[in-house]
């Protein structure tokens, strides 16, 4: 389920981020067009919702996380829809439906691995946030050690945060050097680089951060930690997606994209998937190159699929605990 390709990165090239200009009115207009579009209906809507489930990094990043609620998350990732609903949808039993990954704090990686083993789904990747998430305001040595510890415990994907101090002061070579070291610390694990776009100050900085992180070896670029005041928006996404396209044109390497924070409804998920298809192509509607960072999204998708299958919305008793 993980992306097969690893971004080899490239040498730092300041020319790629020099004189960056963003046409704000054009980006805003395109974002408004995407946000206002009508969702698909009936079986087409259900198909997109099922696709969305397979792209979710099912997440718990709370201060009161325990092995028990991490285990619950993992079993939900392994079986995101109830058997009754799967039967109503006439799902083919030989086809396995799981979320793309589970995402936890580093000290819960072992618990996640044990739970996935019990669920019989060790193939589901364990993603771990690291590097002083969400702020990244810890010494570099500590951030690198945190990555190595998470990988050693069984994480196959690492969501790192960039140094916003460097980004906001224009030290892009510093951002590149740190992210490159983090990539090396990940070893064979895939690295998703969180830009924390709500704290970068401008769309130009978001484009530069996207490009620098891809140069340093990021396999995915991710909008947000989910802890900022402003998280995933279509305006920000379009800037990051165009950076992905530009990087691909230059290096021929395909980089994934992960919006996170504030994506809670099935309708939102369908709109995000349609945008990815239009901007980057069909390949970017699969979990190989696209992920949602979400915890509440799955519950609404399940609710909408129940309505599609039965014609009415479920009572609480009809919905398994998420």
Domains belonging to the chain, first-starting first, are: 31-310 (3.20.20.70)
Contacts of 122 (CB under 8 A, 6+ apart): 113, 116
pLDDT number for residue 1: 47
Instruction: State how far the alpha carbon of 53 is from the alpha carbons of 46, 49, 58, 75, 169, in Å.
Output: 11, 6, 9, 14, 38
Catalytic residues: 222, 258
Pair of tokens at residue 232: 């995933």
Q: Which of 221, 275, 285 is nearest to 248 (CA)?
A: 221
Query: Helix, strand or coil for residue 58?
Result: strand
Angstrom distance (rounded) from CA 311 to CA 28: 37
pLDDT number for residue 3: 44
Low-confidence ranges of the chain (pLDDT < 50): 1-3
pLDDT number for residue 254: 95
CB 164 within 8 A of CB 199: yes
Angstrom distance (rounded) from CA 206 to CA 287: 23
pLDDT number for residue 48: 95
Percent of the chain at pLDDT exceeding 90: 84
pLDDT number for residue 310: 92
């Amino acid at each position: 389920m993980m992306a097969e390709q690893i971004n080899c990165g490239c040498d730092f090239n300041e020319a790629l981020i020099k004189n960056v200009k963003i046409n704000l009115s054009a980006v805003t207009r395109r974002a408004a067009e995407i946000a206002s579009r009508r969702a698909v209906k009936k079986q087409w809507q259900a198909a997109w919702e099922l696709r969305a489930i397979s792209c979710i990094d099912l997440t718990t990043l709370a201060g009161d996380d325990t092995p028990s609620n991490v285990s619950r998350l993992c079993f939900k990732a392994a079986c995101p829809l109830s058997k009754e609903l799967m039967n109503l949808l006439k799902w083919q039993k030989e086809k396995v439906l799981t979320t793309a990954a589970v995402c936890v704090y580093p000290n819960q990686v072992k618990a996640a691995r044990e739970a996935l083993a019990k669920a019989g789904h060790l193939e589901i990747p364990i993603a771990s946030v690291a590097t002083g998430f969400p702020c990244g305001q810890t010494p570099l040595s500590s951030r690198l050690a945190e990555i190595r510890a998470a990988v050693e415990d069984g994480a196959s994907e690492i969501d790192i945060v960039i140094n916003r101090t460097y980004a906001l002061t224009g030290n892009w070579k510093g951002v590149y050097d740190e992210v490159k070291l983090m990539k090396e610390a990940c070893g064979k694990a895939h690295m998703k680089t969180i830009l924390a776009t709500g704290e970068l100050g401008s769309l130009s900085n978001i484009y530069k951060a996207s490009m620098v992180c891809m140069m340093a070896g990021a396999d995915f670029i991710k909008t947000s930690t989910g802890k900022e005041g402003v998280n995933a928006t279509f305006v920000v996404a379009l800037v990051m997606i165009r950076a992905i396209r530009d990087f691909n044109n230059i290096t021929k390497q395909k980089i994934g994209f992960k919006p996170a924070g504030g994506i809670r409804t099935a309708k939102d998920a369908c709109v995000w998937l349609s945008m990815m298809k239009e901007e980057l192509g069909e390949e970017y509607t699969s979990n190989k190159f696209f992920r949602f960072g979400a915890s509440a999204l799955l519950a609404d998708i399940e609710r909408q699929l129940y309505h599609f299958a039965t014609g009415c919305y479920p009572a609480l008793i009809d919905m398994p605990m998420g």
